[in-house]
Amino acid sequence: MNLLLISNSTNAGEEYLRYPLAQIAQHLKGIKEVAFVPYAGVTFSYDEYEAKVQARFNEIGIRVHSVHHDPSPAATIAAAEAIVVGGGNTFHLVKNMHEQGLMEAILAKVQGGTPYVGWSAGSNVACPTLCTTNDMPIVQPASFSAIGAIPFQINPHYLDANPEGHAGETREQRILEYIEANKQMWVVGLREGCMLRYVDGKLDLIGPRPMRIFHYGIEPYEVQAGDNLDFLLSK
């Protein structure tokens, strides 16, 4: 498989998709057009989302075609050169992907080697489930199950800090709750400005920050870019 799973689209003070663009260009080298899944967008139209991504992808010479234009989004995915899934609300994304049969369609394509790029919610849906999203369940999907292209869970936008005066749970505490209830699952806290690349059976962390690792019965710990991540791929 050829996956590029990005924590966030935009670093503070930067333009949209600026920091990951070089990695996206490398990952999609030779691709002329991508099928774009816009369903995580909620407060703006899918046309606007497509145009926003296209404006950045113009710089790398790739056309963006959003599946919302088509009577059968699953057929569009089946014929796609590459697949891009944007961020936003993960529940809204998963609901629409289930309704359009995209979980199965995308899994079949990526297992056949079709390149996949996702950021934020688009990374989360590459996991077995959406259950490590940070998002509010604004809609109810048919299932929490996601594409399952990777056997572990990602928590995008992972934060260490707890805001001053905030008495609620930290991100780490929420993930510890998840692994208490899902003891077999590995979870990675993917910090902003970072991404995971899974190509030809090899998983790599890319970015300036370490990634936090969670599993039941193990104290959370950090891995760095260049560390061996093969343990995350065992089912």
Q: Please, what are the domains in the chain? A: 2-151+191-207+228-232 (3.40.50.880)
143 in catalytic set = no
| pLDDT over 80 (residue 226) | yes
- From the list 65, 70, 98, 157, the catalytic residue is 157
What residues contact 208, with CB distance under 8 A and at least 6 apart?
193, 194
**β-bridge pairing 195-199 and 202-206:** antiparallel
Tell me the CB-side half-sphere exposure of residue 152, using CA atoms within 13 A.
Answer: 23
pLDDT digits (tens, 9 = 90+) for 189-208: 999 999 999 999 999 999 99
pLDDT exceeds 80 at position 15: yes
pLDDT of residue 177: 97
Identified catalytic residue from 135, 166, 230, 234: 135
Tell me phi and psi for residue 27, to 5 degrees. Answer: -65, -35
pTM over 0.85: yes
Phi, psi of 9 (to 5 degrees): -80, -30
pLDDT at res. 164 = 72
- Given the residues 120, 204, 227, 230, select the one marked as catalytic: 120
pLDDT (tens digit, 9 = 90+) per residue, 120-174? 999 999 999 999 999 999 999 999 999 999 999 999 999 987 767 776 788 999 9
- Reported confidence tier of residue 109, pLDDT bands at 50, 70, 90: very high
157 is catalytic: yes
Q: Is 27 considered catalytic here?
A: no
Residues 96 and 88 sit within 8 Å (Cβ to Cβ): no
What's the mean pLDDT when you consider all of the chain? 96
